Amino acid sequence: MSEQFPDEVVTQALLRQVRLPGVAKPLALITLDNGHDHTRPSTFGPGGLASLDAALDQALAADVAGIAVTGKPFVFAVGADLSGVPRIGSRDEALEIARQGHRVFAKLRAAPVPTFAFVNGAALGGGLELALHADHRTISAGAFVAFPEVFLGLVPGWGGTQLLPRLIGIDAAVTVIVENALAQNRMTPGPRAAKLGIADALLEPADFLERSLEWAAGVLTGAVTVDRADVDTSAWDDAIARARQVVAARTRGASPAAVRAVDLLELARDATFADGTAAEDDALADLIMTPELRSSLYAFDLTQKRAKRPAGAPDKALARKVTKVGVVGAGLMASQLALLFLRKLQVPVVLTDVDQARVDKGVGWVHGELEKLAGRGRLSPDALNRLQGLVTGSLEKSAFADADLVIEAVFEELSVKQQVFAEVEAVVSDTCVLATNTSALSITDMAAELRHPERVVGMHFFNPVAVLPLLEVVRAGATDDATLATAFAVGKQLGKSCVLVADAPAFVVNRLLTRFLGEVTAAVDAGTPVEVAERALDPLGLPMTPFELLSLVGPPVALHVAERMHEAFPDRFGVGDGLRRMVELGKPSVFSEPGVVDPELAEVFTSSGTGPSAEELRADAERALAEEITLMLDEGVVQAVEDIDLAMLLGAGWPFWLGGISPYLKRVGAL
């Protein structure tokens, strides 16, 4: 198996016999350590499992009072090494990975002496499963645990689905294994893990290992007794039903892993451990061979690597320091930008607008948001004072005179934006970066009349600005490297993952979403019932339905972008009558209440049945996306298709199992 894992950083299982005060025989203490610091956490590949296997054999052969496992500083173990999984070519090989883990971990579980896991730091996936194979667990208040498998397209198949529900009950196990994994891989901190019963004792980090060893000595001498609540098997049906609802809502059945995980959890009620783990072997072997997993690992890799080192970004050293920020406009978008810059850059931020009432409203909104954060304990009183003192409003653009970056978020009209930039350029330094948050206008045109068009760059954020992690950094015709580098540096400071895009209409995310929504609205205009169109894309498991997305974007914005795209590419982008009508009527949604099409829109959405069927619509949408991606690559909108996938993952929240989108389109034959 190790040939599939040529790059494995082998986690050594270092065995040492430790004398515990008050205990006659020594304790076999195994430290999991891959020889790197905490930034490269320990994982289990074939080599790591072999090392653990050997250490367990050695411990079992020794005359010891017990066996304990712990990790290197700050890390227990973070699960299987997935680096070689894409190279696994057959189900048999996949099955062997599953079985090797089970075989090794089983030795800890079957040990004739008491066994312990001292969870000193991060314990994820297979790391947590190893801990669950021990008789007893301590956990550091600084540690955290999670089962990210379902998030990645796998199941906790080294015993996790069988051991956890039998330890903490099925309902909590559903939360940890399914619900948390599908909620962007939410982690469980040590104190919460102890409360759930994942660990028997919660200890402070300062002397965690010493106290864990003392606790273990207490267990061995009988001074400490461990009480665990009995697991309530009658709770299974309700919890499994809840799990299936969660999976349906979050994945619409598009993730085979989530479904399999629930099946395994269901099995855990009555199955023997041997049967349960055999079922885990099968599930893992099947899932490792699924395209969904391969797409997911590709997507995960993009978010871990490419998102951190954006392709095509100029040398970081060229970036200029940003010590003051101007925001033109004081509307909601501008205010959100002001708040983000304020919180992350912690520099003075000035908002300007055309009248005092708007300025006051914008600054007031920022103050209010900061107070909410303080109220939730997210900002100390001192930090609140600092940030509130840093945000000001002005009617005069002269307030931007010493700003290093000014971003505009005014009305989406080219002439308005040109005028704003001209006014700003009149007061700022020659090197002040002028950024625009436009969704669809030409940034090159916006800069054309300026004395220094090279300082203009697009910084396209996604709503809600504080939440969505993507920033499209747009290089316009004249943008120079220093400006671009500054935009990337600021984006990173803002906590965003940046993707470099060319100044093409609607850039990446909005262009694809608009094309995609265009197919849906065209189908509805052609007579496909709204209810059918709404569910036609379900097999992809997108985070929201097309009409939910339309409501989130807002019909007026969607219309604006659609019109602009129609202007640019009339052959491919239409402007639906239905969408126009919605904007005219001021409707925020096609539904007046959940599942009921607004009666006032019924005349435009005829539901005549003459439009495409659900399958046809899905195929149309897939074809449209594939076509648009091909064109974007031809036009050089991005460096590579990976950037498109990354943008869809982070900007549209499209799921890992689609790999963003291109791996999915390839496997359905559209791309």
> Which of 57, 73, 422, 640 lies at the binding interface for other proteins (CB under 8 A)?
73
- Of 111 and 173, nearer to other proteins (C-beta) is 111
Structure tokens given for 157: 């198949």
Residue 149 appears among annotated catalytic residues: yes
Q: Is 544 helix (H, G, I), strand (E, B) or coil?
A: coil
> Which of 5, 10, 11, 29 lies at the binding interface for other proteins (CB under 8 A)?
29
- For 530-535, which contacts have Cβ atoms below 8 Å and span 24 or more sequence positions? 530/590, 530/597, 530/605, 530/607, 531/595, 531/597, 532/613, 532/614, 532/617, 533/611, 533/614, 533/617, 535/614
Report the nearest approach of other proteins to the CB of residue 118 (Å): 9
Per-residue binding string, other proteins, 165-204, x by CB under 8 A, is ---------------------------------------x
State yes or no: residue 70 binds other proteins (CB under 8 A): yes
State yes or no: residue 14 binds other proteins (CB under 8 A): yes
State yes or no: residue 219 binds other proteins (CB under 8 A): no
- Of 140 and 162, nearer to other proteins (C-beta) is 140
| Contact status, residue 326 vs residue 407, Cβ threshold 8 Å | yes
- Of 138 and 175, nearer to other proteins (C-beta) is 138
243 CB-contact burial (10 Å; exposed 0-12 / middle 13-18 / buried 19+):
buried
Of the candidates 576, 584, 578, which has an alpha carbon nearest to the alpha carbon of residue 601? 578
45 CB-contact burial (10 Å; exposed 0-12 / middle 13-18 / buried 19+):
buried
State yes or no: residue 620 binds other proteins (CB under 8 A): no
Give the integer Cα–Cα distance in Å for 196 and 177.
Answer: 13
State yes or no: residue 33 binds other proteins (CB under 8 A): yes
State yes or no: residue 450 binds other proteins (CB under 8 A): no
- Of 18 and 568, nearer to other proteins (C-beta) is 18
Give the integer Cα–Cα distance in Å for 399 and 402.
Answer: 8
> Which of 67, 108, 209, 512 lies at the binding interface for other proteins (CB under 8 A)?
209
Report the nearest approach of other proteins to the CB of residue 73 (Å): 7
Residue 129 appears among annotated catalytic residues: yes
Pure H helices in 307-435: 332-345, 356-375, 381-390, 414-427
State yes or no: residue 380 binds other proteins (CB under 8 A): no
Report the nearest approach of other proteins to the CB of residue 31 (Å): 3
State yes or no: residue 75 binds other proteins (CB under 8 A): no
> Among the candidate windows 210-218, 268-276, 425-433, 453-461, which touches other proteins by CB under 8 A?
210-218
Helix axes 91-109, 273-288, angle to 10 degrees: 150
The catalytic position among 8, 149, 179, 266 is: 149
Give the integer Cα–Cα distance in Å for 671 and 661.
Answer: 10
> Among the candidate windows 19-27, 286-294, 327-335, 623-631, which touches other proteins by CB under 8 A?
19-27
The radius of gyration computed from the CA coordinates of the chain, to the nearest angstrom, equals: 28
Give the integer Cα–Cα distance in Å for 42 and 35.
Answer: 8
The catalytic position among 3, 8, 93, 129 is: 129
Give the integer Cα–Cα distance in Å for 314 and 445.
Answer: 23
Give the integer Cα–Cα distance in Å for 271 and 217.
Answer: 33
- Of 194 and 434, nearer to other proteins (C-beta) is 194
Structure tokens given for 371: 């107070």
Of the candidates 305, 232, 299, 238, which has an alpha carbon nearest to the alpha carbon of residue 269? 232
> Which of 16, 305, 378, 451 lies at the binding interface for other proteins (CB under 8 A)?
16
Give the integer Cα–Cα distance in Å for 71 and 464.
Answer: 39
State yes or no: residue 20 binds other proteins (CB under 8 A): yes
- Of 33 and 292, nearer to other proteins (C-beta) is 33
- Of 30 and 500, nearer to other proteins (C-beta) is 30
> Which of 97, 134, 198, 213 lies at the binding interface for other proteins (CB under 8 A)?
213
Pairing of strands 188-189, 325-328: unpaired
Sheet harboring 405-408: ordered strands across? Answer: 391-394, 349-352, 325-328, 405-408, 433-436, 456-461, 470-475, 497-502
Report the nearest approach of other proteins to the CB of residue 117 (Å): 13
Structure tokens given for 556: 């007026």
State yes or no: residue 210 binds other proteins (CB under 8 A): yes
State yes or no: residue 11 binds other proteins (CB under 8 A): no
- The answer to whether the bond into 529 is cis (omega within 30° of 0) is no
Give me the half-sphere count of Cα atoms (radius 13 Å) on the Cβ side of residue 178. Answer: 33
State yes or no: residue 57 binds other proteins (CB under 8 A): no
Pure H helices in 527-640: 530-536, 546-553, 555-568, 577-585, 614-635
Report the nearest approach of other proteins to the CB of residue 342 (Å): 28
Helix axes 332-345, 381-390, angle to 10 degrees: 120
> Which of 53, 96, 171, 214 lies at the binding interface for other proteins (CB under 8 A)?
214
Beta bridge partners of 433: 405
Report the nearest approach of other proteins to the CB of residue 339 (Å): 30
State yes or no: residue 59 binds other proteins (CB under 8 A): no
Interface size with other proteins, residues (CB under 8 A): 22
> Among the candidate windows 25-33, 151-159, 316-324, 564-572, which touches other proteins by CB under 8 A?
25-33
State yes or no: residue 381 binds other proteins (CB under 8 A): no
- Of 14 and 311, nearer to other proteins (C-beta) is 14
- Of 210 and 615, nearer to other proteins (C-beta) is 210
| Contact status, residue 359 vs residue 353, Cβ threshold 8 Å | yes
Q: Is 145 helix (H, G, I), strand (E, B) or coil?
A: strand
> Among the candidate windows 23-31, 148-156, 376-384, 555-563, which touches other proteins by CB under 8 A?
23-31
Report the nearest approach of other proteins to the CB of residue 261 (Å): 33
- Of 204 and 449, nearer to other proteins (C-beta) is 204
Report the nearest approach of other proteins to the CB of residue 64 (Å): 14
Give the integer Cα–Cα distance in Å for 644 and 469.
Answer: 14
What's the chain's length in residues?
A: 671
- Of 183 and 206, nearer to other proteins (C-beta) is 206
> Which of 10, 11, 15, 582 lies at the binding interface for other proteins (CB under 8 A)?
15
Report the nearest approach of other proteins to the CB of residue 116 (Å): 13
State yes or no: residue 206 binds other proteins (CB under 8 A): yes
| Contact status, residue 274 vs residue 110, Cβ threshold 8 Å | no
> Which of 1, 4, 9, 18 lies at the binding interface for other proteins (CB under 8 A)?
18
Of the candidates 243, 231, 124, 260, which has an alpha carbon nearest to the alpha carbon of residue 178? 243
- Of 30 and 499, nearer to other proteins (C-beta) is 30
Report the nearest approach of other proteins to the CB of residue 119 (Å): 14
So which residues are the catalytic ones?
A: 129, 149
Chain residues binding other proteins by CB under 8 A are 14-16, 18-21, 29-31, 33, 35, 70, 72-73, 204, 206-207, 209-210, 213-214
